[in-house]
Structures are given as C-alpha cells and as structure tokens.
Structure 1
Amino acid sequence: MKEQLIIEKIELFKVPPRWLFVKITTREGIIGWGEPVVEGKADTVAACVMELQQYLIGKSATNIEDIWQILYRGGFYRGGPILMSALSGIDQALWDIKGKFLGVPVYDLLGGAVRHKMKMYCWIGGDHPEVLLEQAHEKVKAGFQAVKMNATGGMDWISTLKDVKQVANNIRLLREEFGTDLDIGLDFHGRVHKGMVKRLIDELAPYEPMFIEEPVLSENNDALKHIYPYTSIPIATGERMFSRWDFKKILEEGVVDIIQPDLSHAGGISEVRRIATMAEAYDVALAPHCPLGPISLASALHVDFVSANAFIQENSIGIHYNQGFDLLDYVLNPEIFDIKDGYIELFQKPGLGVEMNEEKLREGQKIGHNWSNPIWRGPDGNFTEW
C-alpha cells in the first residue's frame, strides 16, 4: 500500500532580516520547508498559514494539487497577496516533502530539466549613483554577468528634467564602464506614473537596458497598451500579480515580454509552473522575481530548470535588505547557490535541495523582525511610491 505521508505538524519561523519560513513535518518524519511571506506583512501571512492548518493536519502531503485547490478555492474569497503567499509557502514545503520521499529533485517531478544551469542576476542599487560602479564591480567579481538596478529614486507624477536626466546618467555610468559585457535590467519599481514612462524610455533607449521592469504599477497595467508599442526594450512585470488569472489579461493583450511571478507570492511552485506554461503559449519569457530567502530562490530555480521560456533568475544574495543576516546564513549547504560564470548549476539533492539550519532559525526567531518598507514623500510632502 502506498505510504500516505500524513501531515502532522506545522511550525513557523519569523527571522531577520524580513523572512518567514514554514516547516511541515509528516507522521513518517519527513520534513518540508517553505517560505510564505509578504515583505512587511509577515505576521499577517503567519496568521493565514495557521488558519489554513485545518485543511492540512491529517491530510496526505503527497496530494499537492488537491491541497492547492482546497486552499485556493475552499474559501469564498480568493487570491490577493496574503492568501496566495501563505499558499505559496505551503506548496513549496509539500513539493520538498514529496521529492525527499521519492528521492528525486523537485524538477524531476515537474517533468525533468530542460537545462543544466540557470543564468542569474542580482541587484546593485540605483537610487544613489555614487555606489553603482563599486557594487557592479563586486558582482562581476563574484561571477555575475547580469545585474539589475533601480532606474529612479522617488518620482513625482510629472517629474523634473533634472530627475529624468539622472535616470539616464545612472545606466550611462555602467555602459561606459562595462560596455556590452554586462546585461543591465532597469527596475522602475512602480515608482513612475504613466505620464513619465515614455519620456524616460526616450532617455534610456541609447543605453540598451536588458529590460524595463514594472514601468507602471500592476493596478495600472492597462497603461501597458500605450507603453508597449512605443519601445523595442523588453517590458517586464508581474511581481505584484498573484495567480494565473492576474496574468491572463496582459498575456492576451500582448503587452509584456517577460513575466516575473514570485514563488513566495504567486501560489508557489504549482501555480508559477502553470503561469510559466501559459506564458510560453504567448511566446513570453519567464524571469521569476526573488528578493527573498533560500527556499523562495530554490523554488524559483526548480521552475526555471523545467521551463523552456525561463531566461534569467533574480537572487538576493548580498542585497541591501539583508543587513546582519544573509540568504546563506540559514543554509547548511550554501554551495548549491554558488555562481559559476554567471550561472547556478542544476541541483542534485532530493526535494528542493536546500538543507536548512534549524539551530540558526531558532536563534533568529528569538530576534524576529518588524520589517516594513520606507514611506517616501516628495519635496511638497506628498506621498511618492517606494
């Protein structure tokens, strides 16, 4: 008779710098790890995970799809960042359990790898140009061939000529230093309003960015139909979209080149794999968003390994959010995330392949965190997007 792997216990670890991990243990002693968090709303997501516990305890951890459907559809109200992030971490942990039980990496359960390594990029700032070159050289020395920077600091609804020129100056510095040897993504971060996007594109086009990310906030995605035909620079978005239903319209309208679902926000491995396949049918590339910890990154990589349209993967190793605690600090086998010539090689261990340092997690839990993003205001005191 098939072993059922009955879910027996669920534990949460809220640890610095801004992360939340879930540990799911089966009656048979197999453990799975997930990362269910919304940055700045860790306690809210933790409460949601515990509310969902009633659908998990006593159930078979191998029934991943049935559990996903129940957690998503079982409540009258669906979607949104809190529910989908809680569901994401649970889903990651269940895939981790199933892979460990069967003795294979998660990507083998998803159909098998289509590549033997994945190209990576990292964040280097952009709000403050004086540190750009220093940070870029550090990342190139660490093995990266691609970076991403914030295109702007705080922007007004209609910004000054000085602000516009500064945006172009930031990427100009990198192009003059590295030429075309370094791929450079530009993150508008939803800071730019529709009236300024085309003007900024005019300034940026000569420096040939790899992509423009979140040119407008996701709630303003209808503006993409005006922005998309204006430029040949690939348009990327999706980190604040939480399910295949959220991505459906922009794919149908053909106003995006790269989608960026987050493995800790968009329904976990199960849902992001579906989103990736849906995007492939529209000839759209995949580059999962990942400013978070090791479980979120490993989950993204497993989807990348099996998705033909995945072309690059973000990671947060050394990012400014991680002051005092970095992505590798909670991992017993950090070598799986080694960057070699700009790539991470295919994982070999079963499950997600990440061995978490539970002793460090329990130490971190005693410290905890209360992270929230900054609140920015313009010179006149009006709120500006961070």
Structure 2
Amino acid sequence: MLTVDRTRPATSAGRIARVETLTLGTAWRDFSFVRIHTDEGLTGIGEITHPYRGRETCSLTHAMAERHLLGADPFDVEEIWLRMYQGDFLRGGDVGGVVLSGVDQALYDIMGRTLGVPAYRLMGGAVRQRVRVYANGWYTGERDPSSFAERARETVARGYTALKFDPFGAGLGTLDRAELRRSVEIVAAVRDAVGPDVDLFVEGHARFAMATADRLVRELAPFDLGWFEEPLPWTHIERYAELRATATMPIAGGEHFHNRYEYARLFAADAVDIVQPDLSMAGGPTEVRKIGAIADAHAMVVAPHNSNSPLCTTISVHSVAGMPNLLILETFDGALEPFVFEALRGVVPIEDGEVALPSTPGYGVELVDEVFEEHPPSHRFWNMFSPGWERRNRR
C-alpha cells in the first residue's frame, strides 16, 4: 500500500510522469503551484502557497514526487494521500501539509479532465448552485476608523455582502487602553459604514491572552458580528470553550491545523462554532471533506480559510459545492493585481459576492508560464505583529 504499484493496470489518465512547480510574485504574497503531468498527456494543477516558506514547499514537492508520485495512477487519491502522509513517517507539519494539499488538488483536476466533468462531480456533487464568499485584504492602508469605513464602503459597492478584517494593529497578548479603544472604534466605524445587512467578521490572528479576549468579546458584542476569529492562541485550545460560553457572537478558527488528526483536539475541546480548514493546508479536497463531515457531527458549520490565490478560491468552490454545512468561503481575489488573473487563466469569477458552480472539466484553469516569468517571486516577509503591518510594509 505504501509503495507505487506499477503492475496494476492504470486508468485512462495514465501514470504520473512529471511534476513541476511554479511561483508568482504579487504585492500580497508569493503564490506557488504544482503542475502534474501524466504519460497520457494530461495535466492537473494545485496550489502549494505558504505565506513565507515558498522555497521549502517547492523543494519538498519535488522530493515527494520522487518518493511517492512518479509512476502512480492519479485516480488512486486515497492511496496517494496515505503514501505521502504516512510514508514520509515524520509527516511534515505545515510545509508537508501544504504540499500534500496541493498534490491532492491536482489529482482531482486530472481526474475531472480525464472524465470530462467538473472536479466537484468527483467530490460528492453539489447541494447548491452558488457559493457565497466574503472579502478579505480590502483594508490595506492607514489604521484609523474613517479609513477603514471608507474602504469598507468601497468593497461593499463592488458587490460583497460580507467582510473580514483585523482592527487590532500590532497587538499581541494584551492591548493597552488606547489601543483597545481604537480597535473597537474601527469595528464601530465599519459597522456604521456598511449598515446592518452586511456580515462582519473580526480576525484575532490567534494572539490574545484570555483576559484580553474575554474583554474583547464583551466590547464587540454591540456590533452584531458574524464571528470572532481565533481570539486565543492554539496553544491554549482548551480555553476556547470557556470563551465561547461568555461570547454573544460565534467563535471561529482552525486554519492552523493540517489534517483531521490535528483537528481532533479542536473537536474534543468543543473549541469553536465555525471550523475553518484551508484547502491548501488541511490536506486538499480529500481531507477537507472529512473534516467537514466531522464538524457536521459536532453541530458546527464550515467557513474555509483561503488567504491564497484565485486558484485556491476556484478549488475551494469545487470542494464545498457538496458540503451541506458550508457557511461561507473566504477570498482575497478582489485585492489582487490584474496580472494574477492573467497567470491563472480560467479561475472562477466573483459576482455580487457569490461564485456560480463551474462547468469546465477539472478546474478549468491553466497556468500561463509567460506571466509567471514576468512576475518572479520576491521572497519578502511582513510581520503582522510589528507596527504598520496593515499597510503591508515588508522587508
């Protein structure tokens, strides 16, 4: 089971013959991708973006290909998943999780292209015709209430009906009185700017001590939030349920976990109301569907994390089309440069805050190599716990 069986007859897709990686530099971050080729001339793509470890994910992808992919039948998704996860023995953490996720994504693309059907047809079909999305990345700029309010109005004017933002600046652990007041004033200004019918989600970036998180859930209660995301570090996961007991808004989280085994602690602690697996970190479509099913068994809904490229948005739409307990999907697509969409030809369009189910075989997306060559990776870094990070100052 944990070695490639080249004696078993392959499907019409053939066998995996070549694996390559590509990285695109943008103002937001470097986006990395895997492209898998079969000996029958078929290709499939997936996203292997890591916020700061793009070199590492690309390097591991090539190493994983040598160990586990070359010669394999791309239709054997469960076996390949197990081989990459269990067969590498030490299991890889975040970098390994990203690589495994991207490869898994690419296999569904190959299968869909082989069979001539959209990839979601291989992921349980659809229980909805459209997927609602929310905007993130829209608040780049000065950290003051009026600036946030203006940008929120602009984003809603583009058709989005839900927004997420981090009002807390460089706060870590605790907030002094002035910073707490400023953060709450930003949330108040955004709510006033967009009115009562737009969903607002506040991002905590897993950074507050319990006393500060508890104060914040009380201070933010008047603004009718759709959720408060990651108010506590995941090193303190057992305290999430304690915070939930006092919060008037739902608590969300889970983007830091890379498979159902890591999610086990979250479910055991009854830590959140809303689970947020990332299709490019939590094991790809094969694993995220399982995480969604476990969440459903715990009466939780799913709102996938997606701070990645429009390709991950497209793959996420395919993956959640058949997920009964889907709430909403994150996207940064509206904050990206036009050349990103030229490099990822065929990604799903967002219209009035929603995405219609795609109809092309696989994901229907092609990586345009020439655009990648024009926009090489920058390998830059910005620290969200340093002053001014919301302006995306990088070094």
TM over 0.5: yes
What's 2:274 paired with? 258
Contact 2:237 2:269 in 1 (8 A): no
What's 2:366 paired with? 355
**Cα distance between partner residues in 2 of 1:187 and 1:377:** 16
Contact 2:241 2:272 in 1 (8 A): no
Tell me the TM-score normalized by structure 1: 0.91
**Cα distance between partner residues in 2 of 1:156 and 1:291:** 21
Of residues 30, 50, 54 in structure 1, which corresponds to 2:42?
A: 30
What's 1:97 paired with? 110
**Cα distance between partner residues in 1 of 2:214 and 2:340:** 36
What's 2:208 paired with? 192
Structure 1 position 4, deviation (Å): 4.8
What's 1:215 paired with? 231
Q: Which amino acid aligns with 1:359?
A: E
Change over 3 Å in CA distance of 1:33–1:289 after alignment to 2: same
Q: Note the residue ranges of structure 2 that are not aligned, 5 or more in a row.
A: 1-8, 388-395
Of residues 69, 82, 90 in structure 1, which corresponds to 2:82?
A: 69
Deviations 1:234-287 (A, max 9, x none): 110011111111212222332211111111111111111111111111111111
Q: Which amino acid aligns with 2:133?
A: M
Contact 2:310 2:333 in 1 (8 A): no
Tell me the TM-score normalized by structure 2: 0.89
Superposition pairs for residues 121-160 of structure 1, below 5 Å? 121-123=134-136, 124-125=138-139, 128-129=143-144, 130-160=146-176
**Cα distance between partner residues in 2 of 1:88 and 1:71:** 10
Structure 1 position 156, deviation (Å): 4.2
Contact 1:40 1:373 in 2 (8 A): no
Of residues 12, 15, 18 in structure 2, which corresponds to 1:9?
A: 18
Contact 1:317 1:328 in 2 (8 A): no
**Cα distance between partner residues in 2 of 1:375 and 1:342:** 27
Change over 3 Å in CA distance of 1:105–1:249 after alignment to 2: same
Q: Which amino acid aligns with 1:97?
A: I
Matched residues, number: 371
Structure 1 position 327, deviation (Å): 4.2
The reply on whether 1:41 has 2:56 as its aligned counterpart is: no
CA-atom RMSD in angstroms: 1.8
Moved more, 213-222 or 179-188: 213-222
The reply on whether 1:181 has 2:197 as its aligned counterpart is: yes
Q: Which amino acid aligns with 1:200?
A: L
Contact 1:266 1:272 in 2 (8 A): yes
The reply on whether 1:234 has 2:229 as its aligned counterpart is: no
Contact 1:16 1:325 in 2 (8 A): no
Q: Which amino acid aligns with 2:51?
A: E
**Cα distance between partner residues in 2 of 1:326 and 1:137:** 25
Q: Secondary structure at the match of 2:168?
A: coil
What's 2:177 paired with? 161
Moved more, 15-24 or 295-304: 295-304
**Cα distance between partner residues in 2 of 1:125 and 1:221:** 28
Deviations 1:77-101 (A, max 9, x none): 1251011101111111111000110
Q: Which amino acid aligns with 1:352?
A: Y
What's 2:4 paired with? none
Aligned residues with identical type, % of pairs: 29
**Cα distance between partner residues in 1 of 2:169 and 2:262:** 27
**Cα distance between partner residues in 2 of 1:347 and 1:172:** 37
Deviations 1:296-343 (A, max 9, x none): 111211121110111111111133xx4x56642322235x2232x321
Deviations 1:94-148 (A, max 9, x none): 1100011011111111121000001110113387134212221221121110000
Q: Which amino acid aligns with 1:139?
A: T
What's 1:201 paired with? 217
Q: Secondary structure at the match of 1:230?
A: coil
**Cα distance between partner residues in 2 of 1:48 and 1:16:** 19
Contact 2:132 2:329 in 1 (8 A): yes
**Cα distance between partner residues in 1 of 2:51 and 2:163:** 22
The reply on whether 1:344 has 2:360 as its aligned counterpart is: no
**Cα distance between partner residues in 2 of 1:291 and 1:137:** 21
Moved more, 243-252 or 275-284: 243-252
**Cα distance between partner residues in 2 of 1:174 and 1:76:** 47
**Cα distance between partner residues in 2 of 1:135 and 1:178:** 10
